[in-house]
């Protein structure tokens, strides 16, 4: 399912089977549910899933292939809205520039300087045009549109990196999603984490996640654990994957065996959580 790109993570091999459609003025990749001969245990027909992408957006084929797999495994529609209105924060063509380390322990000051100076700063205008308040609004409008049009009983979400932070913020209300998987998110505040109201499953890198620091990850789990004693407890889980860094669940360097295993296990975690919570 993949080929390693040793200079910048991994680009998954394969041909997407879905299509790009327009919903309420927003482009989206749509992976439809397979023909309905699914087992009764699958959340078929009356539910949908929204995949919120990383900063590469829809142009990165990984996003489409993951959506296809989730649609097949969950036997339901999976949608990937364009959070960036045609201008992703990062270009797929720039993946040859190493953005983040592939393995724990290999990040240097020069790597971080290069990320800021040669990748982020030249794209600052694009980044500002899709700042969180804007991309959140696009996601909300998109989810509202497909819920009304498709009349889904429930809608689950899974977000990766940038999209993970979007998913976390959407999870602070019951208005859009019913359950969520948050994969190594971009920065989210403690206030936002405390405000999460729907069941979250967290896919966490082992170390060196400069977006979701280990300290904040531990604080987040403690927040949900402490809610067990109050009246606002919700189901949750946190799973850490050995040998991984930020980005492994959507752009894994499969040249490393433990990263390949972690990537596959993170997909299993996502599928299991959505299947369970969408069926409740």
> Residue 193's pLDDT is what?
97
pLDDT of residue 112: 65
* Residue 273 pLDDT: 98
Q: In whole angstroms, what is the distance from residue 254 CA to residue 12 CA?
A: 9
pLDDT at 38 over 70: no
pLDDT band for position 228 (cuts 50, 70, 90): confident
Has residue 20 got a pLDDT over 80? yes
Confidence bin at 55 (pLDDT 50/70/90): very high
In the prediction, which pLDDT does 5 show? 33
Give percent above pLDDT 70 in the chain. 82
pLDDT tens digits along 160-181: 999 999 999 999 999 999 999 9
Reported as a pLDDT band with limits 50, 70 and 90, residue 125 is confident
The confidence score (pLDDT) of residue 278 equals 96
Q: Which residue has the higher pLDDT, 192 or 112?
A: 192
Angstrom distance (rounded) from CA 163 to CA 143:
14
Which pLDDT value is given to residue 127?
Answer: 76
Residue 6 has pLDDT above 50, yes or no: no
pLDDT of residue 49: 98
Residue 105: pLDDT above 60? no
Beta bridge partners of 29: 20, 80
- 60-100 per-position pLDDT tens digit: 999 999 999 999 999 999 999 999 999 898 888 766 554 55
Q: Are 167 and 177 in contact (CB under 8 A)?
A: yes
pTM for this structure? 0.89
pLDDT of residue 93: 75
> Where on the phi/psi map is residue 101: left (φ > 0), alpha (ψ -120 to 50), or beta?
beta
Q: What is the mean pLDDT of residues 231-257?
A: 91
């Amino acid at each position: 399912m993949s080929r390693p790109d040793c200079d910048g993570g991994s680009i998954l091999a394969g041909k997407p089977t879905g299509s790009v459609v327009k919903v309420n003025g927003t482009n989206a990749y749509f992976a439809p549910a397979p023909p309905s001969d699914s087992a009764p245990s699958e959340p078929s027909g009356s539910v949908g899933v929204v995949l919120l992408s990383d900063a590469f957006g829809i142009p990165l084929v990984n996003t489409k292939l993951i959506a296809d797999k989730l649609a097949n495994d969950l036997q339901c529609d999976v949608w990937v809205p364009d959070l960036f209105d045609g201008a992703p924060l990062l270009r797929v063509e720039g993946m040859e520039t190493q953005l983040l380390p592939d393995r724990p322990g290999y990040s240097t000051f020069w790597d971080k300087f290069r990320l800021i100076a040669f990748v982020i700063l030249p794209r600052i205008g694009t980044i500002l045009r899709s700042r969180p308040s804007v991309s959140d609004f696009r996601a909300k409008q998109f989810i509202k549109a497909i819920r009304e049009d498709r009349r889904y009983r429930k809608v689950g979400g899974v977000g990766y990196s940038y999209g993970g932070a979007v998913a976390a913020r959407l999870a602070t209300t019951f208005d859009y999603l019913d359950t969520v998987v948050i994969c190594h998110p971009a920065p989210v505040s403690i206030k936002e984490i405390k405000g999460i109201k729907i069941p979250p499953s967290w896919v966490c890198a082992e170390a060196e996640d400069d977006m979701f620091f280990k300290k904040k990850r531990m604080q987040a789990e403690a927040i949900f654990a402490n809610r067990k004693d109050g009246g606002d407890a919700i189901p949750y889980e946190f799973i850490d994957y050995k040998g991984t860094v930020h980005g492994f669940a959507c752009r894994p360097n499969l040249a490393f065996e433990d990263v390949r295993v972690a990537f596959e296990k993170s997909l299993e975690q996502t599928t299991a959580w959505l299947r369970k919570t969408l069926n409740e």
